Amino acid sequence: MNGISEASRWLQGSVKVEIYSDVVCPWCYIGHIRFARAVERYRAKGGEVEVELRPFQLDPSAESTGAPLLEWAAAKFGGVERAEQMFGHVTTTAAGDGLEMDFGHAVHANTFDAHRLVRLAGEQGKGEEALYRLFAAHFTDGLDVGSREVLAKIAAELGVEADLDGQDGVSAVREELSRARALGVGSVPLFLFEGQFAVSGAQPEDALFAALEEVAQRTGQAPAERAGGEACDDDGYCAV
């Protein structure tokens, strides 16, 4: 983008936001919902937001075996009681945002192919729709989002062309995952405003709305520093 068009975009109150997330991260689901509401408010005031979805994998080595998520979490984080505490807190918070999460039926999955689907859907104008469908598939429907069969059905539902048995989207997703590591992204969700100012975690809607307004003012300053919102880190641990 040249300098003139960039300046014009800024004068129009347009903000570019890259959102790093994983489809099996509960705080990402919550964070996306809150951000969407903040964007709706911002646009109602005449502003504009350009959103780019970026992939992140909490557990790149995960095997999509259909194993229950609760069973995996109990083994990783010190027992069933600890896992239930972690998931119980998230479930309660999600309900407050109008989201239903059923960790009792959720499946531990590798999300690389799911990110490919989001990428390919984005190229067809349906990236956010695909992401939200994958969130619901994992957290509400108990589907294995690491299964190419499941992903193919979701793609068909959305009317998205995606050959996940081939190489579609593989290189692009690998490059973006490498970029996330290079940027030092260690937990998600992470909202990167104008490629410079990071806001981490599932921040309250008001905080995200304020960040949009502050960045749009173009003072050359980052949004006011905020305590990190609840997030999941690259060890798979989700805040409680």
The CATH number of the domain holding residue 16 is: 3.40.30
d(CA 202, CA 196): 19
pLDDT at 191: 98
163: helix, strand or coil? coil
Q: Does a structural domain hold residue 91?
A: no
Q: Whole-prediction pTM value? A: 0.88
Q: Which of 84-98, 109-123, 221-235 is predicted with the least confidence, judged by mean pLDDT?
A: 221-235
How many CB atoms within 10 Å of residue 67? 15
Q: Is 146 exposed, middle or buried (0-12, 13-18, 19+ CB in 10 A)?
A: buried
Strand 14-21 versus strand 48-55 pairing type: parallel
pLDDT of residue 8: 40
Position 1 scores a pLDDT of 43
Closest CA to 108 of 147, 68, 165: 68
The average pLDDT across 125-148 equals 98
Cβ neighbors of 57 (< 8 A, separation 6 or more) are 22, 110, 111, 112, 115, 177
Residue 198 bridge partners (DSSP): 192
Task: Examine residue 228 and state whether it is found in any structural domain, yes or no.
Answer: yes
Count of alpha carbons within 13 angstroms of residue 149, beta-carbon side: 4
User: pLDDT tens for residues 139-169?
Assistant: 999 999 999 999 999 999 999 999 999 999 9
Domain count across the chain: 1
**Do the Cβ atoms of 128 and 65 come closer than 8 Å?**
no
pLDDT value at residue 235? 65
Distance CA 22, CA 135 (A): 9
What pLDDT, on the 0 to 100 scale, is given for residue 11?
A: 42
Domain that holds residue 5: 1-23+35-56+185-240
65 located within any domain: no
Confidence (pLDDT) at 232: 82
The pLDDT confidence band at residue 114, using thresholds 50, 70 and 90, is very high
Please report whether residue 14 resides in a domain: yes
Q: Give CA–CA dist 121/127, Å, rounded.
A: 5
Does residue 138 fall inside a structural domain? Answer: no
Residue 16: band (very low, low, confident or very high) from pLDDT cuts 50, 70, 90: very high
Q: Which residue has the tokens 């109150």?
A: 13
Which pLDDT score, from 0 to 100, does residue 22 have? 98
